[in-house]
Amino acid sequence: MTFLGYRRTDGRVGIRNHVLIIPSVVCANRVARGISQLVTGTTWVEHQHGCTQLGDDAALTRRVLVAHGTHPNVYGIVVVGLGCETMRAQDIAAGIREACPDKPLRLVIIQDEGGSVKAIAAGASAAHEMVSGASCMERTPSDVSELILGTECGGSDACSGISANPALGVASDLLIDAGGSVILAETTELIGAEHLIAARAVNPQVAVRCYDVIKRCEDSAKSMGVDMRGGQPTPGNIEGGLSTIEEKSLGCIYKAGTKPLQDIIDYAMPVTKKGLIWMDTPGQDIEQITGMVAGGCHFVVFTTGRGTCCGSPIAPTIKVATNTALYEKMKDNMDVNAGTIITGDESVQQVGRRIYQEMMQVASGKCPRAEILGFNDFAIKRIGPSL
């Protein structure tokens, strides 16, 4: 089976053709936004990082920024730095160039350009050339087996584990049957369900890792000295009827379908295997999306019961409502209604196939709501303090 994608010279295929403006540091956010505001057809990210970071924490931020530049959904990149930051824009640009030497890339340093106005002008000048080039590229038939799906549930309610997540599980299985890859993430929301996923591990090493990753996550929560409840599940989850993290996790895991777990990878590491992959991310929605996109996922299917609007700046984010009341109430932000499972009008299989069809259309260019409405949520996990 094929979809229409953008073939990159590194061999990968994209489902979008973005010109992306990336600030290397929080101090360059305004300029990155200014460039994007001037040039229709660009998108940008903003973040709070890039200075006074050390070691693995700095490496993680760098990895995420570079991976957004090298992402196959991105045609060209403008990297913006202030000039005195830890996370030098030159290094981010070099990281992107090393992996993707053919991608249009422009480096803009605010202090070298002579201030923010001149930096915005320089960036906009480069970006508008890139948009012109991007607009000439045509989509070509590409095999579905090249697609990587990121799965997510956020703003969960008690229906998440009954309707939308099992249906997303069906769609995940369909993509894996077609030869593609599926990311399961949000480690926190697997606490209490680790035995179920470990039983599907492809080998004993991966099974052991399932328990190790959960233990580390749970120990980190316990080190705060309080009950996790209130942080996980969240107040909204609790209002929606979810009582404990175990209950949330057991509903959460359905979205991973039924296929064997091939591997567990760290946050924002590239997905290189086919089949089901667990990426160790926080349960915080935007940090999770950002990590999965950095790992190379082309698009995200995001189930929600309470209602969330978010979306990645470069990976189309498809929203699946767990109940019909939410779908009707937040229609502007929802793409698929899985509430028909609750009302008995459709089976889990039927909704799963609808989600898969939506994924295929989005891969070929259909815009989900979060993309139409311009959501460009971006948040990088931190593992060290700001100094």
Closest to other proteins by CB, 133 or 384? 384
Least distance (Å) between residue 205 CB and other proteins = 24
Least distance (Å) between residue 200 CB and other proteins = 15
How many residues make up the chain in this entry?
387
Least distance (Å) between residue 261 CB and other proteins = 18
Closest to other proteins by CB, 136 or 224? 224
> In degrees to the nearest 10, what's the CA dihedral of 269, 318, 38, 104?
40
Q: Which regions of 259-298 does DSSP assign to beta strands (E)?
A: 261-265, 275-279
Q: CB-based contacts of 261: which residues, under 8 Å, 6+ apart?
A: 184, 197, 198, 200, 201, 202, 206, 210, 276, 277, 278
Continuous segment of H or E residues that includes residue 74: strand 74-81
Closest to other proteins by CB, 27 or 261? 261
Integer Cα distance of 180 and 74 in angstroms: 20
Integer Cα distance of 348 and 163 in angstroms: 7
Least distance (Å) between residue 282 CB and other proteins = 13
Closest to other proteins by CB, 220 or 357? 220
Integer Cα distance of 8 and 16 in angstroms: 11
Least distance (Å) between residue 354 CB and other proteins = 20
Apex 98 CA angle, 94 and 101, nearest 5 = 105
> Which ranges of 316-387 does DSSP label H, i.e. alpha helix?
324-329, 339-343, 348-363, 369-372
Angstrom CA distances, 341 to 122, 179, 226, 307, 338, stand at 52, 27, 37, 17, 6
φ/ψ of 203, rounded to 5, equals -155, 170
Within 10 A of 247 (CB to CB), how many other CB atoms are there? 18
**Pair 32, 44: CB distance under 8 Å:** yes
Closest to other proteins by CB, 87 or 191? 191
Closest to other proteins by CB, 154 or 305? 305
Least distance (Å) between residue 321 CB and other proteins = 13
Closest to other proteins by CB, 73 or 323? 323
Least distance (Å) between residue 305 CB and other proteins = 7
Closest to other proteins by CB, 112 or 218? 218
Least distance (Å) between residue 237 CB and other proteins = 10
Please give the residue ranges that form the binding site for other proteins (CB under 8 A). 157-159, 161-162, 191-193, 196, 218-219, 221-229, 232, 238, 240-247, 250-251, 305, 323, 325, 342-344
Closest to other proteins by CB, 229 or 382? 229
Least distance (Å) between residue 342 CB and other proteins = 5
Q: CB-based contacts of 298: which residues, under 8 Å, 6+ apart?
A: 14, 15, 72, 73, 147, 148, 149, 315, 363
Closest to other proteins by CB, 174 or 191? 191
Apex 157 CA angle, 363 and 206, nearest 5 = 65
Q: CB-based contacts of 195: which residues, under 8 Å, 6+ apart?
A: none
Least distance (Å) between residue 323 CB and other proteins = 8
